[in-house]
Amino acid sequence: MTAPDRMRLGLPDLGIGVGLRLPHYEEIFETRPKVGWLEIISENFLVPGGVPLANLDRALAHYPVIQHGVSLSIGGTTPLDFDFLKNLRALLRRTKSPWVSDHLCWTGIATLNTHDLLPLPYTTDVVRHVAARARIVQDTLEVPLALENVSSYLTYTSSEMTEWDFFRAVVEEANCAVLLDVNNIYVSSQNHGFDPNVYVDAIPAERVVQIHLAGHTNYGDYIIDTHSGPVIDPVWDLYRRAIRRVGPVSTLIEWDEDIPPLATLLAEAERARIVREEALSHAK
C-alpha cells in the first residue's frame, strides 16, 4: 500500500466537479451551485479575449478550474506544437489549474487533424515515443500532466501488450499523472472484450489525480463514448472499485451531448459524491 501523502502525487482532492459547458454558464454564475470544481476544455479558451475569457474569469471567481485538453496529440508523429504549449501555459497562469490533462492518443498527421482521440498501438516503441514527448510537455507547462485513457473502437495488429500495461508503462516512464476515465474503460472493455476490473486494478494508484465519469451510446455492435446520458450502473461499479484503490480523488461528470438542465447534471454529481463517500468508508 502506498503511503497516503504520496497518493495523487501530492495534488489536492477537489471533490466532485462538473464540466463547464455553454448552456449552463448563466445558471452556474447566478446560482453558484455547490460543486467542488469546474473543468474547462482548454482549447475553447485559447482566444485573445472577449466573451470566453470573461466567462472564465467569472468561473474562477468562485470555483477552482481544472484545464482539460483535446488537441495535444501526445502520440502523434509530427513535432510537438510549442506555440500551442506556450498558449496553454499562459492559460494555466490565468486558471492556476494545479495540473493539466489531455488524452493518451493521437489526433492526426501533418496534413490532417481528425479532431478525434485515436488509440495508439500498444508497443514498447510507442511507450518510449509517448513518454519522451510527455516529459517535454510536462517540463514546458511547469505543472503535472495527467494522461487520460480514451475509448477506442479498434485494436491494432501491431500491439504487443494490453492497454492497461501500456498505460502504466507510459505514465511510469514519463513520470506523469493519470486521469482515469472509468466510462472509457467500460466502453473499451465492451468493444474489445476484456474485463474492466482487471484494468482498474492495474492502474498505478498513486498517480491517479482525477477521475472522469460519463454516459455513452450503445449501438449494439459497438459503443461510442458520446458523453451523453447518465452514467450507467456498471460504470458506477467501476468507479467504486477505482475509489477503493486510489482513495479520495477529484471526480468529474462529463456531459457533452444532449446536455441536460443543470439540475440533472448536479444530481449526477451528487450521486458521485455519495458513491465516493460509500466507497471510501468501505475502503477503511
Partner 1 sequence: MRNDLASVQAFLASVIPGRAPIPDDPALAETAARFVTGNARLTPAAQVDIYRRQFWYRHREILNDDFPALARLLGEAKMDAFCRDFLDAHPPAHAPFRKMIEPVPSFAATWPGFETDAGRTFAADMARYEIAMLDVRAGADAPPLDPQKLAGLPEDAWERARIVLHPAARRLVFSYPVHRLRKAWLVAGEPAILPEAPSPAHIVLYRNRELVTHFEELEPEAFTLFGLLDEGVPLVPALGRLAEPLPEAQQQHVAAHVGRWFQQWTALGLVVDVDLPSSS
Site residues (CB under 8 A) for partner 1? Answer: 43, 46-54, 71, 73, 75-77, 81, 84, 106-116, 118, 120-121, 123, 125-126, 129, 153-158, 191-193, 221-222, 224
How many alpha carbons lie under 13 Å from residue 128 in its C-beta half-sphere?
A: 3
Least separation, in Å, of the C-beta of 49 and Fe ion? 28
- Single out the residue of 43, 181, 206, 268 in contact with Fe ion (rule: CB under 5 A): 181
Least separation, in Å, of the C-beta of 56 and Fe ion? 20
- Which one of 79-87, 131-139, 179-187, 237-245 is the stretch in contact with Fe ion (CB under 5 A)? 179-187
- Single out the residue of 133, 168, 212, 276 in contact with Fe ion (rule: CB under 5 A): 212
102 touches Fe ion (CB under 5 A): no
Could you tell me the three cell numbers for 260? 441536460
> Hey, which residues does 68 pair with through a beta bridge?
41, 101
Q: Which is nearer to Fe ion, 29 or 179 (CB)?
A: 179
Cβ pair 250, 15 in contact under 8 A: yes
* Residues in contact with 275: Cβ distance below 8 Å, sequence separation at least 6, in sequence order: 236, 239, 240, 243
Q: Which is nearer to partner 1, 5 or 193 (CB)?
A: 193
Query: What is the DSSP-derived secondary structure letter of residue 228?
Result: B
Cβ pair 147, 170 in contact under 8 A: yes
Cβ pair 144, 138 in contact under 8 A: yes
225 touches Fe ion (CB under 5 A): no
Q: Which is nearer to Fe ion, 112 or 153 (CB)?
A: 153
In the chain, the N- to C-terminal Cα span, in Å, equals: 13
Least separation, in Å, of the C-beta of 245 and partner 1? 28
Least separation, in Å, of the C-beta of 73 and partner 1? 8
Q: Which is nearer to partner 1, 35 or 120 (CB)?
A: 120
Cβ pair 103, 75 in contact under 8 A: no
Least separation, in Å, of the C-beta of 206 and partner 1? 29
**Can you tell me the distance from the alpha carbon of 174 to that of 275, in angstroms, rounded to the nearest whole number?**
32
245 touches Fe ion (CB under 5 A): no
**Binding footprint of Fe ion, residue count (CB under 5 A):** 2
Q: Which contiguous run of DSSP H or E holds residue 66?
A: strand 65-68
> Hey, which residues does 181 pair with through a beta bridge?
212
- Which one of 5-13, 135-143, 206-214, 239-247 is the stretch in contact with Fe ion (CB under 5 A)? 206-214
**Can you tell me the distance from the alpha carbon of 258 to that of 226, in angstroms, rounded to the nearest whole number?**
9
Q: Under the rule (CB under 5 A), what is the footprint of Fe ion? A: 181, 212
